[in-house]
Homo-oligomer: A and B are copies of this chain.
Amino acid sequence: MIRPFLTLGALVALGLAAAFPAIAETVTDFTLPNGLEAVVIEDHRAPVVVQMVWYKAGSADEARGKSGVAHFLEHLMFKGTDDLAPGELSKVVEANGGSDNAFTSYDYTAYYQRISADRLELVMRMEADRMRDLILSQDDWQTEREVIIEERNQRTDSDPAAIFGEQRRAAQYLNHPYGTPVIGWRHEMEQLTREDALAWYRRYYAPNNAVLVVAGDVSPDQVKALAEKYYGPLAPTPDLAPRQRVQEPPQLAERRMTFADARVARPYVSRSYLAPERDPGDQARAAALTVLAEVLGGNGATSVLGKALMFGTQKALYVGASYDGMAIDDTTFSLIIVPADGVSMQEAEDALDATLAKFMTEGVDPAQFARIKTQITAGEIYALDQVQGLAQRYGEALASGLSVADVQDWPKALTAVTEADVMAAAKDVFDRRRAVTGWLTHADAPSEPTEVTQ
Asked if A65 lies at the interface with its beta carbon under 8 angstroms from chain B, I say: yes
B254 contacts A257, C-beta separation under 8 Å: yes
Q: For chain A residues 411-454, which have a beta carbon within 8 Å of chain B?
A: 427-428, 430-433, 438, 447, 449-454
Assembly CA distance A92 to B432 (angstroms): 53
Which of B253, B360, B438 interacts with A164 by CB under 8 Å? B253
Question: Looking across the interface, which residue of chain B has its beta carbon closest to that of A180?
Answer: B175
A252 contacts B170, C-beta separation under 8 Å: no
B171 contacts A174, C-beta separation under 8 Å: yes
Asked if A246 lies at the interface with its beta carbon under 8 angstroms from chain B, I say: yes
B428 contacts A452, C-beta separation under 8 Å: yes
A432 contacts B449, C-beta separation under 8 Å: no
Taking residues whose C-beta sits less than 8 angstroms from the other chain, chain A's interface range is 35 or more
Asked if A256 lies at the interface with its beta carbon under 8 angstroms from chain B, I say: yes
The residues of B that contact A366 with a CB separation of less than 8 Å are: none
With contacts A175-B180, A187-B247, A454-B360 taken as known, whether A167 is within 8 angstroms of B253 at the C-beta atoms is yes
Assembly CA distance A185 to B179 (angstroms): 17
Q: How far is the CB of A238 from chain B (nearest CB, A)?
A: 21
Asked if A251 lies at the interface with its beta carbon under 8 angstroms from chain B, I say: yes
A65 contacts B252, C-beta separation under 8 Å: no
Asked if A194 lies at the interface with its beta carbon under 8 angstroms from chain B, I say: no
A185 contacts B175, C-beta separation under 8 Å: yes
With contacts A171-B171, A175-B170, A180-B175 taken as known, whether A252 is within 8 angstroms of B454 at the C-beta atoms is no
B171 contacts A255, C-beta separation under 8 Å: yes
The residue among A65, A186, A255, A259 with the most chain B CB atoms within 10 A of its own CB is A255
The residue among A64, A247, A252, A428 with the most chain B CB atoms within 10 A of its own CB is A252
A430 contacts B449, C-beta separation under 8 Å: no
For A46-87 the 0/1 string (1 means CB < 8 A from B) is 000000000000000001110000000000000000000000
A252-B447, A256-B258 are known; give 12 further A-B pairs, CB within 8 A.
A163-B253, A171-B253, A171-B255, A175-B180, A175-B185, A186-B249, A252-B259, A253-B259, A357-B454, A431-B452, A431-B453, A433-B447
> Which A residues lie at the B interface, using CB under 8 A?
63-65, 163-164, 167-168, 170-171, 174-175, 177, 179-180, 185-188, 244-247, 249-259, 353, 356-357, 360, 427-428, 430-433, 438, 447, 449-454
| Contact sample, A vs B, 20 pairs, CB 8 Å cutoff | A63-B64, A64-B64, A64-B177, A167-B253, A171-B171, A171-B253, A185-B249, A186-B249, A187-B247, A252-B259, A254-B257, A254-B258, A255-B256, A255-B257, A256-B256, A256-B257, A357-B454, A428-B452, A430-B452, A431-B452
